[in-house]
Structure 1
Amino acid sequence: MPPGNILIVDDHKRVRISLQMLLQDEFDTVNVLSNPKSLLSELQHNSYDIVLLDMNFSAGVNTGNEGLFWMNEILKYDPDLAVVLLTAYGDVELAVTAIKQGATDFVLKPWDNNKLISTLKSALSLRLSKKKIQKLETDKQDLTRELNQNKSEMIGRSSVMMNLRKLLQKVAITDANVLVLGEHGTGKELIAREIHQQSKRSNKPMVSVDMGAMSESLFESELFGHVKGAFTDAREDRQGRFELASGGTIFLDEIGNLSLAMQAKLLSVLQNREVIRVGDHQSRRIDIRLVCATNKNLQEMVAEGTFREDLLYRINTIQVDVPALRDRASDIVLLAEYFLMKYANKYDKRPLTYTDEVLVKLQNYPWPGNVRELQHAVEKAVILSEGDRIASEDFLLKQNEAQATNLPPQSFMEMEKQMILTAMERHDGNLTHMARELGVTRPTLYHKIKKYDL
């Protein structure tokens, strides 16, 4: 059953009863009014998607002007409300006038039941599409405002991202060592930068080190520095990464890739907070905030004997788990819009938008490469685009693409359920704020939450 709320406004009791009986099994709520004078009051107290409005109410008056008047009053109150006009005098001229003034469609009395239901469902589909587009536009405006207010790239309004932000706010103001865990492409370095930017050390350097790309022979020289003549290519004294980061933050990415020998040397530096350059005997004090990251399960590595337990305790004062993109699917469209703006500017493209098919495709795709894969996919799509709309064929998705693109488009119920879930996450379950965003009353929202078992 489509999640539509319909208000029937007709002065004939038989018509009202017939329509209510016909439509009550087709839509969520079907209410009736006999007098249009109470129409605006009804719209203020209850949320509707469609108004099925008779064109004539006064006895002996069949011009249709009353219907046009009340249609315009409805659209003044809510320009996106679907108004379907019902009349026994449906000449072409009147129909054209009504459509030009904002009517969604026009049905003649006596109506064909199947045609009437089809017309109303089409009107509902248009109404829900408008609401979805409005929400996307609102999200885009909010996103632009957020980006203008601060430089954070932590994009997302899902509950897991809101909780992650709260955790980072608490952690960042301390000097506690942080271990960031997450799959490839989830944005672990972004989290490290966020911690640094919110910390007391934000005006000092943040030095990033890819431990996974560092050979054992260069480990000490890179991290701790060397003096001139320490080895063949050491032509001058050189500071290591720890000294460069002193006063600020050092980020050790892919720390799970270190050998046991490298782990032992790192542990010594972290315990003593001092380094000795290769070829030197003098120790140098360092003042660093340590943030490490890995996609590996370090607890399992400890059990297997491939990662030192004492090092894990040292780096893991606070553990931050970064969610996979599939675990915050409600953020996919928001992220896609952010990357679209970013790369449209980078490649000097005209303002770009997505087709509805693209948004369905993006939401259905499993994103095994997480945010990084989405970012690269949008960048390629922007480069390949020729007009002002990003089409489905512009996206080159490698894994499970056939599965993603063959999924059926969202049904009305799925669309509304997702809208409620997104509002629930954004407003932390506050029904008043959710109802205001979704354009429904609290009782209607409560009914829908129970219906979808949310």
Structure 2
Amino acid sequence: MNTTKSQATILIADDDEDIRLALELLLSAHNYKTIEAGTAKEVVIESERQKPDLILLDMNFSRDTTSGQEGLAILQQLDQSNIPVILMTAWGSIELAVKGLQQGASDFIEKPWQKEKLLNSIEQQINFSRIKQEHQGYRQLLSKSQHKNLPATSKHWVCQSSAMQAVEQLIKQIAPTDANILILGENGTGKSMLAERIHQLSSRSDQPLISVNMAAIPDNLFESELFGHQKGAFTDAKQQRVGRFQLADQGSLFFDEIGSLPINLQPKLLRVLESGQYEILGSSQTQNTNVRLISATNADLNQLVNNGDFRQDLLYRLNTLVITLPPLRERLADIPALAENFIVSFSKKYHKQTLTLDDDAITKLKSHYWPGNVRELGHVIERAVLLTVENVISAQNLLLDVGTSTNCKIELQPLETAERKLIEKTMKITSGHVIEAAKLLEISRNALYRRLEKFNIKFDANQ
């Protein structure tokens, strides 16, 4: 199918020869190539033979001049062609327009048409068609890439402990459904890997899994990131962008740190979850999507609701099913297998022979409190692989502080208090440098700014 305006071919489908001539003159003057069809049968034949970029379809042909049923019948026959269709009728009605759009039409124009409105609609639909083709190609690449990585992901999924066996049993029960899932758990527990596991076991596993870290998106780009934008939709929109909902269509969409979604955008996400409909920035045309949403957070969403920072109705949409990932200190039986996976991975990364853990090292790993959970374990093993010169990783190679073992006295305090103290300490260490502090805390700069404002912690806005 042609994609540039100078090459685009438009099928004019109308039983009135004068109408066809008028449209042919108008479109030719704007560098479009035209072909014509005067009967319903010709419309179907020419669309299959010529593969036009767009069809201007009259709603009424000779045997029925007012109801629009002929046009709707043709539209059904064109349903599998993936060619954008703009409906035309001199007997316009909202009801007829809705029926046509529900059956797959891209737009609806009344006769006599307004020239600029018609030309703008044609250009917009041809551009949408081009984006859709590019999007489909990208989705195929994503799907192939994910299928290639499936065995490795499955291999690294560890559930030997009783706590994780309970999670695995729940996953196998709910993954095949299309219900939205909310994953809860501390930082570093493996929420993104769990989302991938759910996708693999779902009926959508042959479609892409698209992941979005909500805390890493600047507030002013959220809408563009999720729904896409057209060229010129805002100052920096130099080219069209496909949104995450479109990329994930028919597949799964994973929103990490969902609690970071700005309150002003939550109604738009709620609308998509309820109706599957949204608009691309810069376009008035409603798009449809079919995704399975998996969300994750370490925040207390109920508390955010009470604070007015998160919508109650959106939470109900997100938490149809809830899975809580246990912290690593509650799944000690998984530590040897998790450590082994990391050893294999980092030995390959740093071109070293595969190492093993001695018994003392395993004991020390199991006695550590693991405030950073599986992510922290990965960092510890990576460091040990780099430092070990023998074939065996010893307890000394782990460089774990004794003071953080499970045998030490742990000071319990409210989560918000601990979070505030940690941020204050990090800002002091980095002399108030936000970027460096965000790196140390392993969160985005925007996420740190939100926490600094939340806890009223003073900082230099220029850093």
Q: Give the TM-score taking structure 1 as reference length.
A: 0.55
Contact kept, 8 Å, 1:211 with 1:252, in 2: the verdict is yes
CA contact (8 A) 1:361 1:405 kept: no
**Corresponding position of 2:206:** 203
Looking at structure 2, the residues matched to 173 and 197 of structure 1 have their Cα atoms a distance apart, in angstroms, of 9
Q: Residue 403 of structure 2 aligns with which residue?
A: 402
For the residue of structure 1 that corresponds to 2:294, the secondary structure is strand
1:345 to 344, 348, 360: 348
Q: Output one character per residue of 1:270-321: Cα deviation in whole Å (capped at 9) or x when no partner.
A: 2221220111100110010100000011112222222110000011110011
Higher relative contact order (CA 8 A, sep 6+): 1
Matches within 5 A, 1:39-438: 151-397=154-400, 401-404=402-405
Measured against aligned partners, the alpha-carbon deviations of 1:311-351 in whole angstroms (never above 9, x if no partner) come to 00011110011010011112112211221222222322223
Give the superposition deviation at 1:362: 0.6
Judged with a 3 Å threshold, the aligned counterparts in structure 2 of structure 1 residues 309 and 152 are, in CA distance, closer, same or farther, namely farther
Cα distance in structure 2, aligned partners of 1:304 and 1:331: 37
CA contact (8 A) 2:156 2:341 kept: no
Pairwise CA RMSD of aligned residues?
A: 2.0
How far is the alpha carbon of 1:239 from its aligned partner? 1.2
| Contact 1:152 1:194 survives alignment (8 Å) | no
Contact 1:156–1:335 (Cα < 8 Å) also in 2? no
Relative to structure 1, is the Cα distance of residues 309 and 282 closer, same or farther in structure 2, using a 3 angstrom cutoff? same
Counterparts of 2:153 and 2:301 in 1: how far apart (Å)? Answer: 34
TM-aligned CA deviation for residue 167 of structure 1? 0.6
Query: Does the 8 Å contact 1:227/1:280 carry over to 2?
Result: yes
Give the AA of the match of 2:221.
L
Q: Which amino acid aligns with 1:326?
A: R
Q: 1:206 to 1:394 in 2, by over 3 A?
A: same
Please tell me whether Structure 1 or Structure 2 has the larger radius of gyration of its CA atoms. Answer: 1
**Equivalent residues of 1:225, 1:241 under 8 A apart:** yes
What CA distance in whole angstroms lies between the structure 1 residues aligned with 2:406 and 2:379?
18
Report the equivalent of 1:68.
none
Q: Which runs of 4+ in 1 moved over 4 A?
A: 147-150
Q: CA deviation at 1:406?
A: 8.8
Q: Is the 8 A contact 1:153 1:190 kept in 2?
A: no
* CA gap 1:405/1:361 in 2 versus in 1, 3 angstroms: farther
- Quick one: distance in 1 between partners of 2:406 and 2:178? 46
**Structure 1 vs Structure 2: percent identity of aligned residues?**
46
Could you tell me whether the CA contact under 8 Å between 1:177 and 1:291 is conserved in 2? Answer: yes
Question: 309-318 or 326-335: which moved more?
Answer: 326-335
Contact in 1 for aligned 2:347/2:385 (Cα 8 Å): yes
Task: Sort the Cα spacing of 1:199 and 1:403 in 2 relative to 1 into closer, same or farther, 3 A.
Answer: closer
In the alignment, is the contact (CA less than 8 A) between 2:343 and 2:354 conserved in 1?
A: no
Equivalent AA in structure 1 for residue 370 of structure 2: W
1:379-401 Cα distance to aligned partner (Å, 9 max, x none): 1110111111112232233xx53
Change beyond 3 A, Cα 1:336–1:383: same
Write the distance in 1 (CA, Å) between the matches of 2:265 and 2:293. 17
Counterparts of 2:340 and 2:241 in 1: how far apart (Å)?
A: 44
The answer to whether the Cα contact below 8 Å between 1:216 and 1:262 also exists between their aligned partners in 2 is no
* SS of aligned partner of 1:332: helix
Q: What is the alpha-carbon distance in structure 1 between the residues aligned to residue 315 and residue 353 of structure 2?
A: 49
Instruction: Summarize the Cα distance change of 1:356–1:177 in structure 2 as closer, same or farther, 3 Å threshold.
Output: same
Where does structure 2 lack aligned partners over 5 or more consecutive residues? 1-149, 409-463
Instruction: Give distance in 2, aligned partners of 1:335 and 1:163.
Output: 18
User: Which letter maps to 2:297?
Assistant: T
Alpha-carbon distance between aligned partners in 2 of 1:279 and 1:190, rounded to the nearest angstrom: 35
Once the two structures are TM-superposed, the CA of residue 148 in structure 1 deviates from its matched residue by: 7.0
Aligned partner of 1:356: which letter? D
Q: Is the 8 A contact 1:242 1:250 kept in 2?
A: yes
Aligned residues: 259
Unaligned runs of 5+ in 1: 1-146, 408-454
Give the conservation status (yes or no) of the 8 Å contact 1:156–1:334. Answer: no
Give the C-alpha shift of residue 152 in structure 1: 4.1
Residue 404 (structure 1) shift: 3.1
Tell me, in whole angstroms, the C-alpha distance in 2 between the residues paired with 1:301 and 1:151: 34
**Distance apart, 1:235 and its partner CA:** 2.2
Amino acid at match of 1:171: I
Question: Aligned with 2:386: secondary structure?
Answer: helix
- Amino acid aligned to 2:397: D
Q: TM-score, normalised by structure 2?
A: 0.54
Against the structure 1 CA distance between its residues 395 and 208, is the aligned structure 2 distance closer, same or farther, given a 3 Å change threshold? same
User: Does structure 2 conserve the Cα–Cα contact (< 8 Å) formed by 1:178 and 1:317?
Assistant: yes
